[in-house]
Structure 1
Amino acid sequence: MARTRIPPVAGGLAAAVAVVLAAACWVVFPPETAGHAIAARPAVDLPLPWPAEGQASAEVQNLGSLGSRGEQGPVPIASVTKVMTAHVVLKDHPLRPGEAGPQITVDEQAAAEANSAEESSAPVRAGRGIGERDLLALMLVPSGNNVARLLARWDAGSQEAFVAKMNREAAVLGMTSTTYTGASGVEDSTTSTATDQLRLAREVMRNPVIREIVATADLRVDGVPGPIANTNTLLGRDGVIGLKTGSSTAAGGALMWAARARDGALILGVVLHQNPGGTPAAGLRAALDNSGKLIAAIQRELPAATR
């Protein structure tokens, strides 16, 4: 069979197009070496105070990557896990803005876990019906581990079945360095990278229900003692509108964050593995402090860099 000959000009154009597409994909979806993502090449190179330890990644909507720092190898992410839990629940049971959603009965397990001194929880009572949106808020705002597992059981019948959904969704989003082993993040075996979690942040901030919940500074739910404060104390500073904190001894402090630039553009970032091995409270303070410095610098430097 005779081979089809590609004219030199056409071949050259095709090669040029391939190079351009490959370069674009490099920025948006960084390659991997031995399972570890290589830091994304910044589309806008700003002088930023990246955290000295752990890993971080940031981007600006419709502009591109601001870069990454630290080895992008999987580390425990603690309660940042709950962002994927919320994403999967809302994918299976979508809500419109302002909609309460179906009533979900608090089971005995969730009520018993509300009294745990070992992990963060929300004060829910057995037998009480709470709307889907309010439960999502109790999971994301005060970081209720018991509510995360309740939502997983309600959605999939068991936490194990729900975790399988989480991992399938991570694969769909191209989160190749992520493994979920629980719905709450309490397990140190749930691991990810800043670049992977940035992909998830990009996806969930398209959902107006999640955007509204994670921007809530304090929460009131009928039948639940309140008000309940958001663990993300950066809200309202430097345009911050979310997203989710995480902390444990193994994970240190973690923060997936979202902010609005002065021109309204959405800035997204993830900071992981801050002060690991110390107390969860110290790790969270480090994650919030370092993220705050990073966000303030982006807000300051971005306008001049994009003129």
Structure 2
Amino acid sequence: MARTRIPPVAGGLAAAVAVVLAAACWVVFPPEIAGRALARPDVDLALPWPDEGQASAEVQGLGSLGSRGERGPVPIASVTKVMTAYVVLKDHPLAPGEAGPEITVDEQAQAESTAPDESTAPVRAGRRISERDLLALMLIPSGNNIARLLARWDAGSQEAFVEKMNREAAALGMTDTTYTGASGVEDSTTSTAEDQLRLAREVMKNEVIRSIVATRSLRVDGVPGSVVNTNTLLGRNGVIGLKTGSSTAAGGALMWAAEVRGGALVLGVVLHQNPGGSPAAGLRAALENSEKLIAAIQRELPAATR
């Protein structure tokens, strides 16, 4: 059978129509990564997104700066403690500057303070420490033993507390998040950058958390020496928080908050940086890649929003 020849003009028209249809489909059905639509940013900047892992950022009051990288849940290590603080303060709210109730350090928290291969805070059984100071010991030096102590104090057991964490995650629409412990030491606690960005949006409304995560170092009665923040970006490029995380499986992770010129608050999450290597190397990668991202936003955002 002879093949029908399409005249050049008709062929050109068909190609043009195909291009128009493809462009329309791009708008209506954006491209997908790992089976999920990649939403267009509300503020489109040329940003140095990390080459691996996943990242997401937004400007409060303006909208999304976009997301990049893998889309599935990954281990988040000590970024988990942000949800722990959120649940504790929801159950036991504190006013700005308020210390809150004193909580007795139990034998388990003391025993865990010398646990190898974990970030801990040195506390002694029987010592009474305020709720706010315990939150600081959990968020600033990332004390795993303190996270579990707060979970037991709040809910009676870490298991019961984890149920609360997952209920709050569901209420915030964090559909790709599963918490299995209060500290993040478990590799089975997984989430995505977009889900953790939802949480960052909520916790930065809390003045107590904002104040704690912006603290570079402090002293707590009964705890030797100064407590130093693991977030070394504080005070640079407008950074005012939030929380680091690192483990072999998670690599490095950082939930961050920064103020840009004009007073806008930018929130971001970088996960799964250099997974499989040492936790220290992963954390360095998360901090370095986040700093590049934040510095670029500081440069580009004011001009883009004039």
TM-score of the two chains, using structure 1 as the length reference: 0.88
Match of 2:61 in 1: 62
Within the alignment, does 1:48 sit opposite 2:38 as a pair?
no
Question: SS at 2:65's partner residue?
Answer: strand
Match of 2:222 in 1: 223
Alignment-mate amino acid for residue 105 of structure 1: T
Q: Is the 8 A contact 1:37 1:195 kept in 2?
A: no
Alignment-mate amino acid for residue 137 of structure 1: A
Question: SS at 1:120's partner residue?
Answer: coil
Length, aligned pairs only: 278
Distance in structure 2 (CA, Å) of the matches to 1:115 and 1:44: 46
The superposition leaves residues 163-189 of structure 1 with CA deviations (integer Å, 9 ceiling, x where unpaired) of: 000000000000000000000000000
Distance in structure 1 (CA, Å) of the matches to 2:64 and 2:119: 33
Q: Is the 8 A contact 1:218 1:227 kept in 2?
A: yes
Distance in structure 1 (CA, Å) of the matches to 2:128 and 2:48: 46
Alignment-mate amino acid for residue 50 of structure 2: P
Question: SS at 2:225's partner residue?
Answer: strand
Match of 2:84 in 1: 85
Match of 1:113 in 2: 112
Distance in structure 2 (CA, Å) of the matches to 1:206 and 1:146: 26
Distance in structure 2 (CA, Å) of the matches to 1:214 and 1:174: 24
Q: Is the 8 A contact 2:33 2:71 kept in 1?
A: no
Alignment-mate amino acid for residue 109 of structure 2: A
Alignment-mate amino acid for residue 55 of structure 2: A
Point out 4+ residue stretches in structure 1 off by more than 2 angstroms. Answer: 36-40
How do 1:28-177 and structure 2 match up within 5 A?
38-177=37-176
The superposition leaves residues 108-129 of structure 1 with CA deviations (integer Å, 9 ceiling, x where unpaired) of: 0000000112200001100000
Distance in structure 1 (CA, Å) of the matches to 2:136 and 2:245: 15
Alignment-mate amino acid for residue 64 of structure 1: G
The superposition leaves residues 242-295 of structure 1 with CA deviations (integer Å, 9 ceiling, x where unpaired) of: 000000000000000000011111100000000000000000000000000000
Q: Is the 8 A contact 1:37 1:73 kept in 2?
A: no
Q: Which of these two proteins has the greater Rg computed from alpha carbons? A: 2
Change in Cα spacing, 1:245 to 1:38, as seen in structure 2 (3 Å) is farther
Match of 1:3 in 2: none
Match of 2:250 in 1: 251
TM-score of the two chains, using structure 2 as the length reference: 0.89
Structure 1 residue ranges without an equivalent (≥5): 1-25
Alignment-mate amino acid for residue 95 of structure 1: L
Distance in structure 1 (CA, Å) of the matches to 2:148 and 2:305: 43
Change in Cα spacing, 1:150 to 1:60, as seen in structure 2 (3 Å) is same
Match of 2:188 in 1: 189
How do 1:221-300 and structure 2 match up within 5 A?
221-300=220-299
Alignment-mate amino acid for residue 218 of structure 1: S
Change in Cα spacing, 1:38 to 1:119, as seen in structure 2 (3 Å) is farther
Distance in structure 2 (CA, Å) of the matches to 1:265 and 1:38: 28
Percent identity of equivalent pairs: 84
Q: Is the 8 A contact 2:33 2:70 kept in 1?
A: no
The superposition leaves residues 134-189 of structure 1 with CA deviations (integer Å, 9 ceiling, x where unpaired) of: 00000000000000000000000000000000000000000000000000000000
Distance in structure 1 (CA, Å) of the matches to 2:103 and 2:93: 15
Q: Is the 8 A contact 2:75 2:250 kept in 1?
A: yes
Match of 1:21 in 2: none
Alignment-mate amino acid for residue 139 of structure 1: M
Aligned CA RMSD, in angstroms, stands at 1.6
Match of 2:18 in 1: none
Distance in structure 1 (CA, Å) of the matches to 2:303 and 2:215: 31
Distance in structure 2 (CA, Å) of the matches to 1:39 and 1:150: 39
Structure 2 residue ranges without an equivalent (≥5): 1-27
Distance in structure 1 (CA, Å) of the matches to 2:290 and 2:38: 18
